[in-house]
Amino acid sequence: MKSAALPLLTWREDAALARLRRERAELQRRISALPAMSHRRVALTERLKELTARELKLSLARTRGRA
């Protein structure tokens, strides 16, 4: 059984997760302001999917102690 990493040792991962969450929130705000059939909206939605996948991957690795 592995012990969880101490919070002081995960500050880089915490900062990376916070940055990804801020970027996602900003993208969601920008997407909501665009028309539904906008090409820019499609591009930003794709970027949002990529950021979400990166956030989930980092979060999962962190909970497993491999971040």
Q: How far apart are CA 26 and CA 51, in angstroms?
A: 11
- C-alpha 15/C-alpha 11 separation (Å) is 6
Alpha carbon distance 64, 49 (integer Å): 23
Phi, psi of 37 (to 5 degrees): -100, 20
User: What's the whole-number mean pLDDT along residues 19-30?
Assistant: 97
pLDDT of residue 10: 78
User: Taking the model in full, what pTM does it have?
Assistant: 0.78
Mean pLDDT of the region 35-48: 96
pLDDT confidence band for 62 (50 / 70 / 90)? confident
Residues 31 and 43: beta-carbon distance below 8 Å:
no
Q: Sorting pLDDT into bands at 50, 70 and 90, what band is 12?
A: confident
pLDDT of 5 reads 58
